[in-house]
A and B are shown apart, each in its own frame.
Chain A
């Protein structure tokens, strides 16, 4: 079937197999590879993107399901000249990434959290990240980065 999705503000249109997962569609057809696949069971959150502004795990959404919708990925947070937004910047400043594999999903989850709750406590951040796994950082600096991004926005 034909699927039209607005990805990071740009309209895309592709013929897809019915069973195509959104994450594969974004990576292979749209050509945006920041979004990663880590688990296949909707557990790890590496594939987190924003669907009409809400965070979803794109490994458990079919491309066909989001026909006509808006998707934002990590690439969509980045400015024209490669400039980082507040969350991306805080992740660098606080060393909230090591291998970087969970990072795109983690940044999108953090972005979603801060839109819903601009002033989260540490506990609220930790609960909000329960669906995003990181093996490298022990989450310490990720929590610090999100606190910092929230503070910077105030």
Chain B
């Protein structure tokens, strides 16, 4: 029986549960002995001109190794200083609160904060741009010399109202997909050494190869001059893709000073320095007929870029691509503008552009349903892409591989007991229950593979003791690759998992690789491992044929016990160890890279049940039921874990989380005391329903599951809050649906009645 699809507990866990993992701050390597501790001096101002930096008092402190500013960055290549270009250390101008201005190196960790306080920076305040509305007005430009804060546009140059001309009903609304923090539990961290004209960086990252390439590029080093190693990584969620300016600066400082340098930020720094996510404002227009058929949809996106371009010009392209969701819509128009503001730059956060698309279309569907007085689930059903239309190319140019959208919707409604929930909702409304029930339905499709054409690499070696080492270009940070990849190899080679070691995260060992993001690991990295196993198996067949003096075609691998025998010939057969021996010095191994032009499109449907206390405005998620179909599941434990985490993060965006700024550009949620990170006490246990529709894009038939939960849950939970109050005439409440917002909406609705 195949091990694939079975509930194998993680082989990673005993180490993590007994001694703890080895995160960056835990590294006690000889190379890092005597490392100086790095502390960044950060701007307290959102937008200001730096008139003077006086480091003399700082330099006089005991334990100071160096105090470095932009002026010291004279040994790296010049970069074009265009709009949105991010420096390593701020030069003349700071553009967001928390921007690094100087780097302090000290002998002891605790000295760093003391010394950083003594670096005296004179700032001359500049007018501050907060929020996209202010940014679009262009009254204050972040980059003088340019003519606008808008750094990128795309999609339709002008919208055509004729698209809605024949609609019986048209609804338009501006909705906010708020700025949130990725907030992995492990903050950002880097250690660096410069020795023998080579830089070695240890980085808490999702992609060592991407970090290497960014460092090489920014510091003007040869590609072979940088090695990047990822130790255990305590979560990333998209915000640990690539090399942040601090990481590059720490590497540079190690070269500059000749000292090993290590840096771990504080949570406060993390909340303002690590890229934020989402931060889009949508104007949705949806039109159709009173029988529930939607014929036109428009999505106008304004992306808050933050102060510099990280991914702010890329993310809205994904939002536009996925704009029409699971629906077969005759007319779709999309456009975006990305605008600079004096806030932390925006980059990927779990879903990265796709959750925004789903949130917009699902909200639009609800608004349309409310306008025509039809059940929200029924409106969705009437517009879904039918199964016989796949592969389905949308009006925005995405080609969906496979999907069973109606089945997913019906399955989740059935599992949730939708009709009974509606009956309970009616009863509560009739008796004027202070705790009203809301039912939110979302259906979604997303795009996974995260640059499938870049592919992923693997190396598999069978050793002479019969054990296997797998190197993967993928870069796990909690997903469980070591378990899943070993399962793939056991399934193919019949070598038991406990003899298989999976390694990752060293650019010197596997010089090519891409990493873990965009729900790409299994479909690309897993396939590369699978293909490597297949290659090794074919080589082994030849070796076994030589060993047994038989025709390779007659060799059979018994995957139950991992031995090769000749078909129809009884006997012991040949074991893997013998074949590895026979393979000689080059060993029995394979290097593979799997790439594909085609992305995959997982889909699903969520039902959220929320109770809203209409006297206090407090919403509470009481049930969350999901169907998330990402094709065949290699290990249900891991897939469910991804779904659980995704659901929680998505629900948290709907109800709790927001990175907020005041009018001066001060972040007001810059610690975990202020940022409403969701806890166990606010969440229910989740109800998951399995569904598996394979894709033909890769030999495993798999799609990505890492972000699906987040994409489906956010609109379902938001919708449920609104639905609880629908009888009061409420049609929309922006996220996060805080008690204050909900209470205000209730109060206004009652006043209006």
Contacts and interface: CB of A to CB of B under 8 A. Distances in A.
A binds B: yes
B13 A92 contact: yes
Interface stretch (B15-23, B54-62, B571-579, B697-705): B15-23
A102 B680 CA distance: 13
A111 to B, nearest CB: 12
B476 to A, nearest CB: 9
Interface of A is mostly: loop
Interface in B20-72: 20-23, 25-26, 28
Which of B25, B477, B641 has the most chain A CB atoms closer than 10 A to its own CB?
Answer: B641
A41 B267 CA distance: 9
Interface residues of A, number: 57
B233 interface: yes
A44 B187 CA distance: 12
Which of B10, B14, B17, B641 has the most chain A CB atoms closer than 10 A to its own CB?
Answer: B17
B237 interface: yes
Interface in A2-23: 17, 19-20
Contacts of B187: 38
B23 A36 contact: yes
Given A41-B267, A91-B13, A82 B18 contact: yes
Interface stretch (B337-345, B411-419, B646-654): B646-654
B23 A88 contact: no
A17 B685 CA distance: 45
Contact of A99 (B19, B233, B640, B648): B233
Which of A38, A39, A131, A138 has the most chain B CB atoms closer than 10 A to its own CB?
Answer: A138
A60 to B, nearest CB: 12
Interface residues of B, number: 56
Interface string A69-110: 000001101100010100010011101011111111001000
B561 to A, nearest CB: 27
A129 B267 contact: no
Contacts of B73: none
Contact of A129 (B12, B16, B479, B680): B680
A102 B20 CA distance: 10
B184 interface: yes
Interface in B69-115: 109-110
B680 A95 contact: no
B4 to A, nearest CB: 17
Given A75-B18, A92-B17, A100-B21, A138 B644 contact: yes
A77 B16 CA distance: 13
A92 B638 CA distance: 12
Given A41-B671, A82-B18, A95-B640, A126 B680 contact: yes
Interface of B is mostly: loop
Interface string B609-645: 0000000000000000000000000000110110011
Contacts of A46: 185
A7 B327 CA distance: 60
Nearest to B675: A43
Nearest to B21: A100
Given A43-B672, A102-B185, A127-B681, A138 B267 contact: no
Contacts of B232: 99-100
A13 to B, nearest CB: 21
A88 B26 CA distance: 21
Contacts of B686: 138, 140
Contacts of A93: 9
Contacts of B234: 36, 99-101
Interface string A37-64: 1111101101000000000000000000
A142 interface: yes
A141 interface: yes
A67 interface: no
B186 interface: yes
Which of B267, B479, B646 has the most chain A CB atoms closer than 10 A to its own CB?
Answer: B267
Contacts of A126: 680-681, 683
B553 interface: no
A35 B25 CA distance: 11
Contact of A92 (B10, B28, B478): B10
Contact of A135 (B22, B23, B235): B235
Interface string B665-692: 0000001110001011101011000000
A37 B234 CA distance: 11
Contacts of A97: 13, 16-17, 478
Nearest to B638: A95
Nearest to B237: A135
Nearest to A78: B18
B17 A103 contact: yes
Nearest to A88: B17
A99 B681 contact: no
B185 A133 contact: yes
A135 B9 contact: no
A130 B235 CA distance: 20
B354 to A, nearest CB: 19
A151 interface: no
B480 interface: yes
Contact of A95 (B18, B183, B641): B641
List 6 tightest A-B contacts by C-beta distance, closest first. Answer: A34-B20, A138-B648, A101-B234, A99-B478, A98-B478, A100-B16
25 contacts: A17-B110, A36-B186, A37-B25, A38-B187, A38-B672, A41-B267, A44-B677, A46-B185, A74-B17, A92-B10, A95-B637, A99-B184, A99-B478, A100-B21, A101-B21, A101-B234, A125-B680, A126-B683, A135-B184, A135-B235, A136-B185, A138-B644, A140-B686, A141-B644, A143-B685
Given A92-B13, A98-B480, 16 more contacts: A17-B110, A27-B26, A34-B19, A36-B234, A37-B25, A40-B268, A44-B185, A74-B20, A78-B17, A82-B18, A95-B637, A103-B16, A135-B183, A135-B237, A137-B645, A140-B683
Interface of A: 17, 19-20, 24, 27, 33-41, 43-44, 46, 74-75, 77-78, 82, 84, 88, 91-93, 95, 97-104, 107, 122, 125-127, 129-144
Interface of B: 9-10, 12-14, 16-23, 25-26, 28, 109-110, 183-187, 232-235, 237, 266-268, 477-480, 637-638, 640-641, 644-649, 671-673, 677, 679-681, 683, 685-686, 709
